[in-house]
Each structure stands twice: as C-alpha cells, then as structure tokens.
Structure 1
Amino acid sequence: MADLTLTGKNPFSLAADALVVATAVVDDAVVVLGDVPDSVRGLAAHARALGVSGALDEVVRVPAPTGVEAGVLALAGVGTSAPDAEALRRAAGAAVRTLGGGRTVLALPADDADAVGAIAEGALLGAYVFNRYRTADETTPATVLELASPAARTRAAKDAVERAEIVTSAINAARDLVNAAPNDLFPAAFADAAKAAAKGTGVKVTILDEKALVAGGYGGIAGVGQGSTRGPRLVKLAYTPSRPAARVALVGKGITFDTGGISIKPAKGMEAMKSDMAGAAAVLSTVVAAARLGSDVAVTGYLCLAENMPGGGAQRPADVVTMRGGKTVEVLNTDAEGRLVMADGLVAAVEDGTDVVLDIATLTGAQIIALGDRVSGVMGTDDVRGEVVAAAEAAGEQFWPMPLPAELRPSLDSKVADIANIGGRAGGMLTAGLFLQEFTDGTPWAHLDIAGPAFNEGAAYGYTPVGGTGVGVRTLLAFVEGRSAKA
C-alpha cells in the first residue's frame, strides 16, 4: 500500500515526479481550480488542444510549466467548480492510477477534513495493484503520495487521513481476496485468511467445518458444498466493545467458485465466478475495519463459505434440504446456491441476537440486468433499506432501493417443501430477496445485491481497478457508524 502524508507546504514548490491539480467546467469553459501559478492557470486557454475537458475520471499529463517543481503536471477532472467528496475521491484515484510509480503530490481542493479524507481514500484506492501471480510485472504502483492542504496541521485532517488508511486497507484486502485464484482461495483457505486478518484486532473468530455444519443443521451451506472435495465453512467474526452502543450483524456470501453445480453455467465467462465470494470479503473487511477504528458498535460477521461444484456427491435439482432452524427448501436449481448459504447465515445471526442484520451477496444476474455494473440493489425492511441507501450516499457508493412485492412470493411455493429456492423468471432479484426474508424471523433487515459492482470486467475508472472492487465495505462501515451516531 502506498505511503500517504499530509503537507501544508506550497505544493508547486515540492520536488516530485508528478503534481496533480483539478480541472472543471465553468460556464462552458475549462478552468484550473485553486490557488495556482499563472503558468498553470494559463493552460486552461489551451484546453481544447491539450484534450482537457474537466470531466470526471479524465487525467491529462503535460510537462510541468514554469513555477512547478514537479516533472509532470497532471490535470484531473472533477466536473464542477464545487466538487463533492465522491468527485474528489474519483479524481484522486484516477490520477494516482494513471501516474503509477514514483512520488506524487496531490493539490486538489482540500480545504477541510472531509475533502482531505475523500482525496486520501481515492488516492490510496487508486494506488492498488494486484500482481500476486505475475513473475515479471511492468506495472509500478504509486509508492509515495503527498496530499497538500491548508488544513494539514489540524487534528481533524490528520484523523481523516488515519481513517482513510484504515478504510482503504480494508477495501484493498477485500479486493485481494476477490482477485485470488480459486485454486488458492477455497473455503478452508478463506477461513485461514479471516483468522490472519483478525489477528491483533480483538475480533474473535469461530470456524465450523463440514462436520460441525452437518451436526448443527446448516443444511444450506453443507448442501451447496457437498459436491466439492474442499469442504464448506461457516466463519463467525465477533467484535465486541466493552459497552456496545448497538449491535449489527453482517452476513456475507462466500462461494469461492461457482460452477452452478449440476445446473451448470455456460463456459463463457465462468472464470469471473471466482468473485462469487465478494460479499464475504466485504463482511470480513468491515468487521476488521470497525475493530481497528475502535467503533462502539458490536459488529458480528458471518462468512458463509462453500465451493459449488458438480461432483459425484453434488446437490441435485429436486433435492430437499433442511436449513438451520428447521425450514425445508426444495432445490429446483443448484445455481441458485447463494441464497441457500445466506439463509443459514441469517438464521445464525438472528439466533445470536442483534438489533439489525444486513446481508451482502453477489446474488443474482437479475441485479445486473436491472441496475447495471455500477449500481447495487438493496431490499428489506423499509427503514433499514433507507438507512443503507443513506449510508451508501454518505460513503460514495451507489445502492438503489428495490421493493419486495408480496405478489411475487407465491412463485416460491413448493409442492413438496416449505419453500423453493427459485421463483418465476420475472423479478429474479426481488424473489431472491423474498426468499431470504423468510429466514429473518422479523428482525430488522436489509439485503444488498452487489452482483455487478463487485467485479469490474471492463476498463478501470476513477479509483476502481479491473477485477475485484471491494464494493460494499464503505457502505457497511458508514451504516455501522450511523448506528453509533443514533445511539
């Protein structure tokens, strides 16, 4: 992870490989924001020739003009002359990602602690590079970052940077897990990674293996994992401050690879199914980050881990499984496995006691059809759903509120069991939510479907790399912090 420091010095006098300034559009003209030398401000007159539009995610590099000690000047678009926190986050991320290695000074608008925190988050996320499997990698990540701000000496700005370092470390850890090859990250290996991540944080880790899952009646997790030679796990992570202001439970889908099982997926694109554990990665990172931040909210995470394979012992369409708590489910499609492992996790969370439970999962292709690759869906109890949306807005992530229409519930009726694991084709994201609702026992709850945003198969943008994105961590942390503020 790159090293980031605050500085109150004049950024234009600092020797560096690159200096980043903000460009924006004002009255249809491109301008350079902030107190900058005339030589820098004058570049705006040549915006068209330089290919500068001031748009978000745009980064244009030019030789540093007179009055700038850095070797290169990077013009990063922020859209408007009054950029919000997310615009600053994206501009910093795009600039650092584009510039790569060396020493970079960020002279984006950072007049207060909120702006400082956003820029720090964007820069540290933009510096992320996953090169675990490359023997000769030409990608050089950013190593030294300096964030220039007139508020650099204030306690609030320093705290904002410290928080940004903890949050981005958590997000990048989630990205690493999502990007790991599935032959390396199987359920037992994920459980080991959870233990390692929690070490020294005060988070208590409890792991149930396949025998304990069967003995405990976790028919969903055990059933999904029975086709693999690498058995399933349920990992419980408990962070408990001395006097909890509130209790939040988080349940994450952790299918370390999803072939679809007997209802096998098409071969094309199946390699992306290594990302089907992104929900569990987000939960693990959130619990660890909450502990490192010293939250006064008790946060318990449940990682529902299995590998969905079409082996000789695999679950079959028409099987009936008994879930934790006794409810029976007819498995009509083994590729609707995520809701089975999540249902067991939800029951466990409710049994353990909590004020509210959130589950997060790469659950349905229907989410991608409905909302695309960058917007996640959220369903659940009305007030909790609204709370998640507000947390996402504050954190800079996109979650869209979706309904749970009662008229879709009958499509989940089974002829032989309490409920079937799939409903009709219409409203697939919503019927998945309705299925999960059956296992919440009236506890305030929200379901976050991150199927599209969890794994970026297109080009990198802003602070978002190709591959694992770490989506959900910031929203879950903001939700936890919101509960603290409420208390």
Structure 2
Amino acid sequence: MSTELRIRNESAATAEADAIIVGLLPAPEGSDNPVLAAGAEDIDAAFPGGLVAELALLGATGKAEEVVKLVARGAVAATIVVAVGLGKPDADGTSGPEQVRRASGAAARALAGTAHAVSTLGRIDLPAAAEGTLLGAYEFTRYKGSDAGRNGKKPVARVDLLTAAGADDAAQQEQLRRAVAVADAVRTARDLVNTPPNELYPASFAERARTLGEAVGLQVEVLDEDALAEGGYGGLLGVGQGSSRKPRLVRLRWSGGDSPRATVALVGKGVTFDTGGISIKPAANMDQMTSDMSGAAAVVATTVLAAQLELPVAVTATVPMAENMPSDTAYRPGDVLRMYGGKTVEVLNTDAEGRLILADAIVRAVQDSPDYLIETSTLTGAQLVALGTRTAGVMGSDEFRDRVAGHAQATGEGGWPMPLPEHLRPELDSRIADIANVTASRFGGMLAAGVFLSEFVGEGLSWAHIDIAGPAFNSGSPWGYTGKGGTGVPVRTLWAVLSDIAENG
C-alpha cells in the first residue's frame, strides 16, 4: 500500500484532516522555547497563547526528528497537531532539503494508521517533503498476512502537502510528479532488496528487471549461463558455479531521447545471496546477505527512472547476477578465472566475489565507450570499519569521484571521497595470474577492492565506484525516512549525478 500525495493551497488552520504536521526548530540562544518553522503561522495564531508554548509544555525541543503530538481541541480544523523537529537551521535561519526530508519521514512513520494528514513542510521544500513522506511511510508487507506494517498499522493513507500562497500550481505539480517518481524508484530498489533470496535469485531477478525495463520502453538483453560461457564471462560463471541457480547478466538501455547530452554506463553488483562460498561467512547475521544485490537493485531502478522522466542522457545498465554458494561445484581458493576481456585472476578468497562479477560487467560496459561509468556495490566489510553504516566510500577518477561524492552528501544518502593508493597495487600481484582478488593484508580492504576494480576500467574514462556495504541495509532502528531493511541507497545519488550530467555534461 502506497501513501497518496496531493497538493493543497489553503490555510493550515482550516485544513480538515486527522492530523496536521508542522515543523519545529530548536530554541535560539537566549530563549527556552523552540521556534515554529515557516508555513505554520496561522496554526500558531489559532491557539490561545500560541502553539509553541503548549508544545514546550509537552517537552518539545525541535531537535531533529523529534515528534510531539498535541490534541487540537478545536483550535484548528485538524484533530491533532504533529510537531516534528527539523534540527538546527542553517546560518540564514532556513532548513535544508535533507532536514525537511528527514522530518517528513519521521512524521510519516509516527502517523502510521492515520487516514488523512496535512503537512506544512511542503511550504519549506515541496520535493523534499514529498520524498521524505513517501519513503518514511514505506513498508514491505508482501509476505505478511495483511498490508499492516509497523505495530500492526497501515501506512498513513493520504498526505496533503500545503504550498505557499501565490505559487505556480503547474510548476509545483511538476515538482511533485518528479519527486514521486524518484521516491518510487527508491521504493522499487527497497522492494528488490527486501525480497527473500529463495524468491529473488539470478533468473527471477533478471525477469523482474526485464519486466520493469520493458514497462517503460527500455531495450533489454538477458544472457543466461550458456550465453555467458560463449561470451567468456569467467568471473560471473566462476562465482555462480557453486549454485544450482545459475548466473545471469542483464543489460538495460535508455536511449536518452532524440538528443542525449552524454552517455553513462551504470554497473551494479547483483549477488542475490552471499554465503562467502568455500570461504564461508560466520552464521551470525548471514540472513542480511540477501542485501548483497543492493547495487544491482539501485542501478535497475535508476535506469527505469531515467526512462520514466525522459532524461536527456543515454543510460546503459550492465547488471551481473549470481548466487555465491559452497558445494562440490563451487569455485575454490587457488582457482584462476579468465575474466571477460581476457585478464586472469587468482582467487585467494571466495568471499571477495563481488569484484569478480563486477570486473566482467565493467569490461563489457566500457566496450560501449561511455562518457562516464558509475559502479555501485555492497563490496567490502572494510567500508563499514572505515566509514560506518551511513556513509558510502566513493573512489574513482579524482574529479568525477568528488562530483559523485558531493551529490551523495547533498541528497542525504552520504558519501565520502576515498583514494586509490598506487602502493596497494603490488599487494594484488599474483604468483600465477595477472592479478589476485585480495591482498594478504587486513588493512585498507575497501581501497584495495577499488584498486582491483580500476584494473578493468578503460584508461582515461571518468568513473566512480560507490561502496555501499553499510548504507544499503539498515539492521538497526528506523530513523528519518529510513526504515529497517533495504534503504534504496544510492538511487537518489545516481539520479542526482545523471541530472547533473543532463544539465552540465
């Protein structure tokens, strides 16, 4: 069940609904009370003595994502007022898009079970309020007996976003349309990540990608195990040979319309379940390895989004899909794989499988001579050690790496530029092959994985690798617009980069 969004332009005080959402800012220096955010002045005036004074009595502080509910008692048309904290404002006293996004998500989560709410946060930033609301209300209920989600309650059914007086209605409707499309793409990626691995495996994932792609007119190509063998995709075949569910390579292409500004290759890791293979993982938390295809989910969803919104950039997604299992047919430490394009790799650890299937896909993507290449993957546990669960590591060619990391930060998905140290390359030298898939050191694992991937990228190509091992899956408590499970990261980063390329080349 998806929350319905609408735009309304009327007084917040007279808007009839079960709840009205207002933003709250922390108390400025020298004051004890929080401050009501812009867009809710008429609600404040409707309460004798002011709304803020009553919220302060209930303990409201305006800190980020704090939710305080107040029964309206007839002061306004809505039954309750829901005050949500925006956190500390910028120097000019305004709240940025991510603050609005997270506050809207927190409010949507708090309003589970509500039929109809109205939000004043759209008056601050309409697209951010729309995205945050839809993502905060997201629930994955496909395998439950009903569509009731957290605490047995359905997501808020409808939210009306109030807009500023005198705003261009057509322009705001277009802003809403695009924001809803972006949020739906994130929700699609989340659905794919949250689907259990007994139902989402290479063949079924490929078919879901085909269905999504063909629905928006993408060119779709799916290579099965026979076609992969004929094409020489040794990395993908090697990783997938231990499973009865054979690997696939999916190619989705959006033309970019009549006059595309540039061509972009997207590559995403699609390991539908990762046991580690012969180098098997510990049993604890292995269930979370259903998320090892998060990069692939993001790339598929973003390419579909580019077609939906007719982005003037040609986008081709190359998505390798495999299941990494231990069996009598599994690849082994010590094996040498001949990758697509001919380079040989000595396998020292079968749990470093993602870089093997990505190497095949990157070489294939580079053959299309794109202007840019972006690859994303839940690649290394070392990313979590270095940057934690919410900040992706971004590597690649310096200028484009920084450009991608900047968009990751601006969207709120989080990303930090990381180096590809030349001194790590000799540590990947193999005794018997062109390169080994891991180093002998436990240090710098995220960077070494990036260095490995760089060996398969065409010289001079602007490219970026986004390691989302932590940000792709939330195993902790919900926060902002992020619930438990698949997060959909980095769909919004990829979309922001593509939109930037469409505008600036």
Query: Which category describes the TM-score, using the shorter chain as reference length?
Result: over 0.9
Query: Matches of residues 314-353 of structure 1 in structure 2 within 5 Å?
Result: 314-353=330-369
> Aligned-pair distance for 1:155?
2.6
Task: Report the residue type matching 1:9 in the other structure.
Answer: E
SS of the equivalent of 1:37 reads helix
1:50 aligns with 2:51: no
CA contact (8 A) 2:428 2:437 kept: yes
SS of the equivalent of 2:269 reads strand
1:455 aligns with 2:473: yes
SS of the equivalent of 1:5 reads strand
CA contact (8 A) 2:26 2:34 kept: yes
SS of the equivalent of 2:315 reads strand
Matched residues in 2 for 1:409 and 1:273: separation?
28
SS of the equivalent of 1:181 reads coil
- Is the deviation greater in 475-484 or in 74-83? 74-83
Query: Matches of residues 42-441 of structure 1 in structure 2 within 5 Å?
Result: 42-79=50-87, 80=89, 81-101=93-113, 102-108=115-121, 110-111=123-124, 115-136=125-146, 137=148, 138-150=152-164, 153-240=168-255, 241-423=257-439, 424-441=441-458
- Post-superposition CA distance 1:428-447 (Å, at most 9, x none): 00000000000002122110
> Aligned-pair distance for 1:110?
1.6
Task: Report the residue type matching 1:21 in the other structure.
Answer: V
- Post-superposition CA distance 1:340-359 (Å, at most 9, x none): 01111100000122001010
TM (norm. structure 1) is 0.97
- Is the deviation greater in 383-392 or in 422-431? 383-392
- Post-superposition CA distance 1:46-82 (Å, at most 9, x none): 4454131201111111212443111121111001341
- Is the deviation greater in 136-145 or in 92-101? 136-145
SS of the equivalent of 2:86 reads strand
- Is the deviation greater in 23-32 or in 45-54? 45-54
1:37 aligns with 2:44: yes
- Give unmatched runs, 5+ long, in structure 2: none
Matched residues in 1 for 2:503 and 2:96: separation?
22
From 463, 484, 487, the equivalent of 1:469 is 487
CA contact (8 A) 1:250 1:359 kept: yes
- Post-superposition CA distance 1:287-313 (Å, at most 9, x none): 000111110000010111000000110
RMSD, matched Cα = 1.4
SS of the equivalent of 1:462 reads coil
| Percentage of identical aligned residues | 49
Matched residues in 2 for 1:260 and 1:185: separation?
18
Task: Report the residue type matching 2:446 in the other structure.
Answer: M
Matched residues in 1 for 2:12 and 2:445: separation?
52
Matched residues in 2 for 1:70 and 1:108: separation?
16
- Post-superposition CA distance 1:119-140 (Å, at most 9, x none): 1111111111111111144230
SS of the equivalent of 1:11 reads coil
Matched residues in 2 for 1:158 and 1:59: separation?
28
Task: Report the residue type matching 1:452 in the other structure.
Answer: G
CA contact (8 A) 2:246 2:323 kept: yes
CA contact (8 A) 1:280 1:361 kept: yes
- Post-superposition CA distance 1:185-242 (Å, at most 9, x none): 0000101110111123121110001111111011111110000000000000000022
Matched residues in 1 for 2:267 and 2:136: separation?
28
Matched residues in 1 for 2:415 and 2:191: separation?
23
- Post-superposition CA distance 1:66-99 (Å, at most 9, x none): 4311112111100134110100011111101111
CA contact (8 A) 1:332 1:422 kept: yes
Q: Which residue of 2 aligns with 1:23?
A: 24
Matched residues in 2 for 1:396 and 1:159: separation?
22
> Aligned-pair distance for 1:109?
5.8
- Post-superposition CA distance 1:240-293 (Å, at most 9, x none): 022211000000000000000000000000000000000000000000001111
CA contact (8 A) 1:22 1:109 kept: no
Matched residues in 2 for 1:371 and 1:218: separation?
32
- Is the deviation greater in 47-56 or in 315-324? 47-56
SS of the equivalent of 1:352 reads coil
Matched residues in 1 for 2:424 and 2:220: separation?
38
Matched residues in 1 for 2:469 and 2:145: separation?
31
Matched residues in 2 for 1:70 and 1:231: separation?
55
CA contact (8 A) 1:249 1:299 kept: yes
Matched residues in 2 for 1:12 and 1:344: separation?
59
> Aligned-pair distance for 1:13?
1.1
Q: Which residue of 1 aligns with 2:7?
A: 6
CA contact (8 A) 1:8 1:153 kept: no
Matched residues in 1 for 2:244 and 2:12: separation?
57
Matched residues in 1 for 2:171 and 2:427: separation?
53
> Aligned-pair distance for 1:400?
0.4
